[in-house]
Structures are given as structure tokens and as C-alpha cells.
Structure 1
Amino acid sequence: MEELNNKRMLVKILDELSSEMNFEIQFLSEDWITMIRCNQKVHYIYGYEWGINSSTSQLIAKDKEAAYEVLSMNHINAMEHKLFFNYHWQSKYTGKKGCWAEIMRYVQAHQSENDYRIVCKPNRGTGGNDIYRITNQWDLEYAVQKMFSKYRDLCLCPYYEIENEYRAIFLNGEILLLYSKERPYVTGNGKDNLVTLVLDKYKEKGVSFLTNLDGELDTVLEEGEQKNISWKHNLGKGAKAVIVKDDDLRNRLNEFVNKVADVLDITFASIDVAVIGGEFYIMEVNSGIMIESFARQQPDTDYNYYELTKDIYRKAVSYLLQH
């Protein structure tokens, strides 16, 4: 077999499972397409999309505004997302009225004193990429121009004060994995400033966090004082996965996630839940099951993250082969 794409954990795990579960496997298009053959049936995995969900459910999940609209209509808490088309597409679909006036109305509706409280992101993006926190007019113009140079549309959403964020990997009525996303942070020692604390803990990776600390770089934290150094909860952006062990919390999240899955008619999904004002809100729903950063995280004393990831994919393959 040709050398597998060493950047994708999914490829490595599926190759291992093919031997353990006795199915034939073939990787195509530089390992981006996986063909699974078993009992004279053929199944395909395209990127991180499995042939488990309907195409409609998959498209709704990928579309942040669509998912918000469907969930809200069904009285499920979800973080608001408002869609705006790139001007190249605007005239084709909605006429030539443009979208800037509507963008400004939306932003000003979420203004606090002199600061905007808005986040700008791709409507179909993942992994925390190209997400901008907007606090002023310059931020807004920069982000919108940047986004429209790359995407056909964008989403604006209010900036929420998120108390905690959880990710649930869901398959056919069951949460296979549930963890919280612990944002990057440093702990003060009473003498070193934030620059020193960040670079000591995160080394070269810490440089990217310094832009989040504008005006605070020389601050010295008290002994034991903790400070978050990023507003993003993405594992690929430095956050840490912490397995949820609290049974009551697991049960409440399981009930909430199942309601979401029922409304979206989705069977296999990665569902992000934010805690805002003590209430659960859907942040986004991903039909593409990407667990790469989680699998690469160093195992703690109780869990091996690679084996947990492998078990999820094992169950997904079993479901795929049975349907």
C-alpha cells in the first residue's frame, strides 16, 4: 500500500480498522476519498463526511445560518447567525441593492456604547479558521473585505460571553464522546509579566496569543491568578479537551443533543454546545467528524485519546456496514 497521508488521523485509523474488522479498504484522491467494501457492498467516506446522514441534513448542518434558523423555529436555543452574500453573488441571487447597509444595521443593533460586539466568520467554515472578533469599524471593514476575497458569503453573529463550551460526538441517539474545551490560559507567579508567562508555557505557539493581549502585555498576575489568553475554544487553536465525567451534566447534555439531532434529522454529527447565562445553546453542528486534534492530544491518567477516537470510528464503520 502507498504511504498514507500522515496529516490525517482518520486515514491511519481506518487502515488499522480494516484489518481488525475484516473489510477491504482503498484510498483514492491522495487519501481524501475512502472506499470500504464488505459483503459485496461498497461505502464511501469523502474527507470527513460519512455516508450516514442524508444529503439534506448534511447541508443544513454545514450552513450556520440554516442550522440556526431550523433550530430556532423549533424553539431550541442556538447562537444567532446572520448570512450576507459576497457582492459577486449578491446581484445574481438578491438583486443589486448590495449588503453593506444591512451589515451596518446588524452591527449597530449589537453595539455596546462605542464598541461593536460582533463575530465575523465563514458560513461554512470549520476549525476556528478565519474567525474575527469585531469591536470597531476598522475591524469590521477589514474582516468583511478579507472574507469576501475568499468566500461567497459570510456570517455575522453577536459576541456571546461563553461560560463553557462542550463538544459531543453523536451517533444514532448516543453520545460517543463528550468533552469540554478549556481555553489556553496562564497562571501568575507574582513577578513575571504576561509575555513571559505565555512564552514560557506555550513556547513558539504562544506568539499567536500575544495579539489577544494588546495593552496588557506588561501586566503581572498575582500568585495563582489565572487569565485566559484566547477567546477561541478550538482545539486546533490551542484549547485543551477535558473529558466530562459529571454524570448529571452528561445526562442533561445528552437530552439536549438528542433534541437537536431529532430536529435536524441528523444521525452522525459533532455538536458544539455553549453555556451562556447558565443555559445550553447550540454553537454549531458539524456533519464532518474531524477528531484529529483530539486524537493527537497527550493522554491523561484516565484516558487514551487516540483509542477513544479509534473507538468512535469503529462504531461509525459498524453502523455504516449495517445500513
Structure 2
Amino acid sequence: MAGGERIFVQAIRRYCAEHGISVDVRAGGWLISMRRGEMRRFAFGYDIGLNSAIAHRLASDKSATAEALTLEGVSCIAHHLFLNPKLGIHVAGADWHQRMLALLAQNPQGVVVKPNEGTSGRAVFKVTNGEELHHAAAEVFSMSAGLVISPYVAIDDEVRVVLLDDVPLVAYSKQRGTDWRHNLDAGAKPVLLEGGEVRAACVKLAIDAARAIGIAFASIDVVRVDGAWRVLEINSGVMMEALAKQHPELVQATYDAALDRVFRRN
């Protein structure tokens, strides 16, 4: 096994070795071919291949996710889309900057600016004035075709639920450190939720969110704001690198269950 290989890749290797499935890892582990007899399946990034194309696209797009959840009456954090002005005035619109400033004015506590697509909390900015907004938008647009702006809210708790066909396989809270974000890459620590009212409420909301976009295997982040739980985002690729440091058996079992579905095992 290659040194430094992601937990996701290690889990797939282990499952395939135990079930007589050949594995061909390409592109530094970001593309994985799995073959058993005439059946070939692929994993790409952190996507194991169980979700439909439209469910994957919706989950990968923060603005589209928020719109779809709102249509279904699922409580969520708003994400307002702004397309990169480099795409042209007919795509981005002529008034994109004025609309950004209007959102900031409507949220005196500040807003959060981040790429419309992407994970791990990269290029996420808390903005409280026009100068910060200009800087954040320029930074995100330098690497992305679009950004989203959300109202800044004081998040009391954040929980991630991993679902497979509406069954919660994992639920854990993200205990943040000194950063205002709950991202695991920003230093937050995963703490398993074994049961109780919080877990039940988060699982129910996560299932509602998954059903709203028709996704089969996903990790769903929900946050508690002013005592109420809301969906923050849905991840079509299920990443559990941080959790695996504390609970490797649980992470392996979760990927095993998903791969059983991939290969149609009961």
C-alpha cells in the first residue's frame, strides 16, 4: 500500500481484497477502477458511484442544493449565487456587484463568501464591509466560475450525518477549535453521536434533505442556529479522513456497506 494514501482508497483496497475484486488505482488515487468478472465499477474523488448524475450535480452546487431544499420545505441556510463576471455580462449580469452589496446591507452581522462548488472550507471568507467583500469576491472568482453568499449566522453546533438509502450509518458533531468555522480541515474534531434527541433531530433533517434531491449515499451537514436545525450542505462524495483517525472500524464498515450496494450484495 502506497505511503500517504487516503483512507478512502485504503478502504476500497481492503474491501476489494476481501471480496475477490481487482483494483486499479490511477491518477494518484483520484480514479479507482474495481472489477469483478464482467462487472467494472469506478470511484472518482470521494464519489463511490451510487448517486445519479443529477443528484450528484445538485449536491455539488451549494446554490442549487439550497434552492431544491427550499422547494421541498426543508429548512436550510440560504446560498445566493453569483457567476464570475469573466464569463460575460450575459451570464453574470451587469449588476452583480450591486446585488452583492445589497445582500451585505441586508445582513449587518456580516455574510459568508465561498465557492459555489468545493469542500473542506477552502477560500471561505467572513465579510462585514465593502472592502472585505471586494477582496473575498476577487479571491473566489480567481479560482471559481461562481460564488455563493450566505448570511453569517452564529452556529451553536454542527453535525454531519452519513446516509445510505435513508439509513444513518454515521453521525458526529464537529467540535471547533479557535476558528469560527466547523470544518474538519480547519481544526474541528469529530465526536460521535451515539443516540439522543440531537442525533434523532439531525438524522431526520438529513433524511428529508437526501430525499429532496434524490441522493442515495451522502454526508449531510446540519447546523443549529438560534435553537433550530438547518441544512448547511450536502456532500455527494463521502469523506471520512478525520473520523478514521479515531474510529477506523466504523469508517471501514460505512464504506463496506456502500460498496456492497455498488456490487449488489445483500
TM-score normalised to the size of structure 1? 0.79
2:132 is equivalent to residue 111 of structure 1: no
Q: Could you say what secondary structure the match of 2:33 adopts?
A: strand
Q: Please name the residue that 1:53 is paired with.
A: 51
Contact (CA 8 Å) 1:244, 1:250: kept in 2 or not? yes
Matched residue SS, 1:61:
helix
1: CA distance, partners of 2:3 / 2:218: 24
Q: Which residue of 1 aligns with 2:239?
A: 290
Match of 1:183 in 2: 176
Show the 5 A alignment for 1:186-225.
none
Specify the code of the residue in structure 2 equivalent to 1:183. Answer: R
Structure number with larger C-alpha Rg = 1
Paired residue secondary structure (1:111): coil
Q: State the 1:169 CA deviation.
A: 0.7
Mapped contact 1:5–1:31 kept (Cα < 8 A): no
Measured in 2, the distance between the counterparts of 1:13 and 1:148 equals 35
SS at match of 1:27: strand
Aligned-partner Cα distance in 2 for 1:47–1:5: 18
- How many angstroms does 1:14 deviate by? 1.4
**CA separation of 1:144/1:41 partners in 2, compared to 1, >3 Å: closer, same or farther?**
same
The 8 Å contact of residues 5 and 11 in structure 1, kept in 2 or not, is answered as no
Check if 1:259 corresponds to 2:245. Answer: no
Q: How far apart are residue 92 of structure 1 and its match?
A: 4.5
**What is the match of residue 258 of structure 2?**
316
Which amino acid letter does the alignment assign opposite residue 120 of structure 1? V
Q: Structure 1, residues 273-306: CA drift from partner, whole Å, max 9, x if none? A: 001111110000000111112213xx3xxxxx11
Displacement of 1:24 in angstroms is 1.5
Corresponding residue number in structure 1 for 2:142:
149
- State the distance in 1 between where 2:6 and 2:89 align: 39
Q: CA deviation at 1:252?
A: 2.4
CA contact 2:5–2:29 (8 Å) conserved in 1: no
**1:98: Cα distance to partner?**
4.2
Question: Which of 127, 145, 150 is equivalent to 1:134?
Answer: 127
- Specify the alignment match of 1:196 in structure 2: none
Matched, 1:233 2:230: no
Cα distance, 1:65 vs structure 2 = 0.6
CA 1:122–1:94 in structure 2 vs 1: closer, same or farther (change >3 Å)?
closer
Question: 1:203: which partner in 2?
Answer: none
**How far 1:107 sits from its partner (Å)?**
1.1
Aligned residues: 265
Name structure 2 gaps, 5 residues minimum.
none
- Structure 1 residue matching 2:28: 3-state secondary structure: coil
> How high is the TM-score relative to the length of structure 2?
0.95
Partner of 2:82: 84
What does 1:272-283 align with in structure 2 at a 5 Å threshold? 272-283=221-232
Deviates more, 1:53-62 or 1:240-249: 240-249
Runs of 4+ in 1 over 4 A off after TM superposition: none
1:128-178 CA-partner distances (Å, limit 9, x unpaired)? 111001122221111111111111111110001111000001111111100
Amino acid at match of 1:41: M
1:164-211, Cα deviation, whole Å (9 max, x unpaired): 000001111111100000011xxxxxxxxxxxxxxxxxxxxxxxxxxx
47 and 5 in structure 1: CA distance in 2 versus 1, 3 angstrom threshold: farther
Give yes or no for contact 2:115–2:123 (8 Å, CA) kept in 1: yes
User: Residue 6 of structure 1 corresponds to which residue in structure 2?
Assistant: 4
Contact 2:205 2:231 in 1 (8 A): no
**Match of 1:189?**
none
Taking only aligned residues, the RMSD between alpha carbons, in angstroms, comes to 1.5
The one of 140, 160, 167 equivalent to 1:167 is: 160
Aligned mates of 1:177, 1:136 — CA distance in 2: 39
SS across alignment from 2:169: strand
1:74 to 61, 72, 81: 72
| Identical amino acids, percent of aligned pairs | 28
Whole-Å separation in 2 of the counterparts to 1:6 and 1:92: 45
For the 8 Å contact 2:82–2:92, the answer to whether it is kept is no
